Amino acid sequence: AQSVTQLDSHVSVSEGTPVLLRCNYSSSYSPSLFWYVQHPNKGLQLLLKYTSAATLVKGINGFEAEFKKSETSFHLTKPSAHMSDAAEYFCVVNAGGFKTIFGAGTRLFVKA
């Protein structure tokens, strides 16, 4: 069985400060992991994906995530938040059976 847990439903940061969105996963197989972003009234967009190549994955808009097998984590980070980063972020796992599981989401607020 596989599952994904996003540890924070809401995260609030000031513009220019670092962003950390936390994700833990559970999988019986070696997983593929993704982060998607959803802006209001827009479709989900892929930020980055991990597919067992490099453990540190760089994505679009300055985001990156590190796969830590020992901690079963795939946290999303960005060194400096921008107002345009305010959105809902979803951690996603796909491990065997081609079934994709989304986390519940973390809403990121960015204060001026």
Nearest to another protein of 81, 95 (CB atom): 95
Distance between CA 90 and CA 76 in Å, rounded? 10
Q: What's the alpha-carbon Rg for the chain, to the nearest Å?
A: 13
Neighbours of 22 (CB within 10 A): 17
Do the Cβ atoms of 88 and 76 come closer than 8 Å? no
Nearest approach, Cβ of residue 17 and another protein (Å): 25
40 near another protein, judged by CB under 8 A: no
Tally Cβ neighbours within 10 Å of residue 103.
Answer: 22
Give the interface segment with another protein, choosing from 14-22, 43-51, 58-66, 71-79 (CB under 8 A).
Answer: 43-51
- Residues near another protein (CB under 8 A), total: 22
CB of 79 to another protein, least distance (A): 24
Applying CB under 8 A, the residues found at the interface with another protein are 31-32, 34, 36, 41-46, 49, 51, 90, 94-95, 98-100, 102-105
